[in-house]
Structure 1
Amino acid sequence: MEKSFAAAAEELFRVPSAVSYTVKKLEEDLGVVIFDRSKRKAEFTPTGQLLLKHGRTILNATENLSTLVIQAESGWEPELRICIDNIMNCSPIYSLIGEFQKQYPHVEIRLVEEVFGGTFDALNSGRVDLAIGTAEDIDSIKYQYLDIGKINFVFAVAYDHPLTKLPRPITIEEVKKYPSVVVSDSSRNLPAKSSGIFEGQRRLTVPTVDKKIMSHVLGLGVGYLPLFRINQELDSGALVIIETSPATNRTNNVGIAWRKENSGKALKWFIERLINIKREAFIS
């Protein structure tokens, strides 16, 4: 901020009288005194300080609005909303976001986590533009689907759980004696889903996959866990894979989905990168 009208005029490539006239005209139009001219150098009055503070905010907002309008006209979204399923490894998407921000800093990114059917629910309801970790059984007319791979699930319990003391394989009737740890589906509009629960089995419902793994380690319940998420617990012996009869280990196909009608350039940028990167990194 310049300390005199003369210095300000020089900075603006204008004559001092023009700057003085502009300030005086502004004071007359607003009916306030912006500068105290009773001293050797003009200083801001409290009202002038307030005008300066909020004036800068307005100018910055105007500049940002202009940028957003230009972006929208050229096909760039002001914000790209991405959803990733809580079961996935987030590292690949964070790497892409970092790369994107360096190239297109004016496009905001909103990243949210959903659980189970909530991932597709977020896309289907229009809350997000790109969903990572959806099931493959979606409407191929409305949505484009890009395969990631299969998630292997294993039946795992704490190392000291009573089931580990029984002869293998463990019968389903023995399994049903203990609560099944279930991750709560975050769907808001579509019917909530659940899996890995046997008829008549009690439930312990938790909010995330991390909490489900913790619950298994603490021996609070039993159930299926994504194999790629529990390698450390298996290596340390905190968790043990149990064979059941009949065999119930399973796999889920997951992928990336978006609306075909969405032609935004930010979405297109991410899709092109996702096609070319090792998508299996999301589940490893």
Structure 2
Amino acid sequence: MSFNKFDQYDWNLDQLRALDAVDRCGSFAQAGKELGRATSAISYAINQLETAIDLAVFDRSGHRAELTEDGQAVLAQGRAVLDRARDLNRSVHKLREGWESEIQVVVDGIFPMVPVLDAMRKFGQERTPTRLRLMTEYLTGVAERFERDQAVLMLTLQYQDELRFVATPLPRLELLLVAHADNPVHQITNPVTRQKLRDFVEKPVEDSATKPRQRASGLLFGAEQTLSLSDFQSKREAIRTGVGFGWLPRHLIAELVAKKELRVIELEEGGVHTFNPYIVHRREELAGRGTRLFRRLLLEGFKGYE
């Protein structure tokens, strides 16, 4: 580690606490009473601080010691340091109680983000020492990232039951087969079959896995012209331009369908595809308080989002 000239000042938290107390209490004697120390000990701590930083923090020329301009600046920065120190003590205490330092969560980008972000907001309000790392993938890329990065939670559409995981069902998620209201695809004569749709531009969202596994059956039509996109928001905007058709989650397009900007394609077998998604976590992570808290907040958020 290289030496930094700013590392040379040998002050400590005890001195900053004394400085803070003197300013708040109005005198060295009152500060000593608050901190349970003798007045001479408070005076000594202030003298040591001034020596360490080579600045006078108090003007002692009058009847009562007053903060100098330098002292006011040191006090402001010192209080910020004391706040961070209290945060560190709180974090260390909570880590000893079983909080993880970090939890990684993988979410399929097809999910509505409102309950996820709301859960993150509430998690932050708990002031835990646990950092949240949220990663977005698509289709089989979710499980791949979950395994590769050893994440503790995933929100996924596709789950194969394994003894090392615990899966809890989430509210069903519906995809609608849509195109812009003016798209020629709506002129197809009934019945609207998969074969007929292959003559139009299909817009799938790419699987984000490095080695994609089998996609959920029924989502691809095998059209000669395809325009693959990386996420559902981009896919929605692309379909709104009038080019192509594809499956989109109901929560992302409900308003556009209600306004008749997008229309559901009445496929012979049905223009709605339903997933039964899960929130999955590792059994060995059950003891982690951060994992349990965030999982509970997610479940509450999705329940209220139904």
TM-score relative to the length of structure 1: 0.76
Superposed, 1:205-216 pairs within 5 Å as 205=229, 207-216=230-239
The count of residues paired between Structure 1 and Structure 2 equals 275
- Return closer, same or farther for 1:174/1:96 CA change in 2, 3 Å cut-off: same
Q: Unaligned stretches of 5+ in structure 1?
A: none
Partner of 2:198: 176
CA change 1:44–1:220 in 2 (3 A) is farther
Q: Separation in 2 of the partners of 1:31 and 1:147?
A: 59
Check whether the contact 1:71–1:78 (CA below 8 A) recurs between aligned residues: no
Whole-Å Cα distance in 2 between the matches of residues 53 and 144 of structure 1? 49
1:159 Cα offset (Å): 0.9
Residue 85 (structure 1) aligned with residue 108 (structure 2): yes
Cα drift, residue 35 of structure 1: 2.7
Q: What is aligned with 2:277? A: 254
Deviations, residues 134-153 of structure 1 (Å, cap 9, x unaligned): 41126x13322222254333
Residues 169 and 154 of structure 1: is their aligned pair in 2 closer, same or farther, counting only changes over 3 Å?
farther
Q: CA offsets per residue over residues 237-268 of structure 1, 9 Å max, x none?
A: 22222234677864333211111111202322
1:198 aligns with 2:222: yes
The DSSP-based 3-state class of the residue aligned with 1:183 is: coil
- Whole-Å Cα distance in 2 between the matches of residues 44 and 168 of structure 1? 86
The structure whose residues are more often strand, as a share, is 1
Report how far residue 73 of structure 1 moved: 1.7
Partner of 1:230: 253
Alignment partner, residue 66 of structure 1: 89
Q: Deviations over 1:197-254 (max 9, x none)?
A: 515332142x432332232232122112234543333232222222346778643332
Which position in structure 2 is the counterpart of 1:146? 168
Q: Contact 2:206 / 2:228 at 8 angstroms: preserved in 1?
A: no
Which letter maps to 2:236? I
Q: Percent identity?
A: 21
Whole-Å separation in 2 of the counterparts to 1:166 and 1:202:
19
Q: Is the 8 A contact 2:123 2:297 kept in 1?
A: no
**SS of the residue 1:180 aligns to:** coil
Structure 2: runs of 5 or more not aligned: 1-22
- Relative to structure 1, the CA distance from residue 228 to residue 240 in structure 2 (aligned partners, 3 Å threshold; closer, same or farther) is same
Aligned equivalents of 2:180 and 2:55: distance in 1?
74
1:1-284 mapped onto 2 (5 Å cutoff): 1-2=23-24, 4-28=27-51, 30=52, 32-35=54-57, 37=59, 39-40=61-62, 41-44=65-68, 46=70, 48=71, 51-94=74-117, 96=119, 104-108=126-130, 110=132, 112=134, 114-117=136-139, 118-126=141-149, 128-137=151-160, 140-187=162-209, 190-192=210-212, 196=220, 198=222, 200-205=224-229, 207-244=230-267, 250-262=273-285, 263-271=287-295, 284=306
- Quote how far apart the aligned CAs of 1:125 are: 2.8
CA contact (8 A) 1:82 1:112 kept: yes
Where 1:182 maps in the other structure, the secondary structure is coil
CA distance in 1 between counterparts of 2:48 and 2:158 reads 64
Structure 2 CA distance for partners of 1:11 and 1:124, relative to 1, 3 Å: same
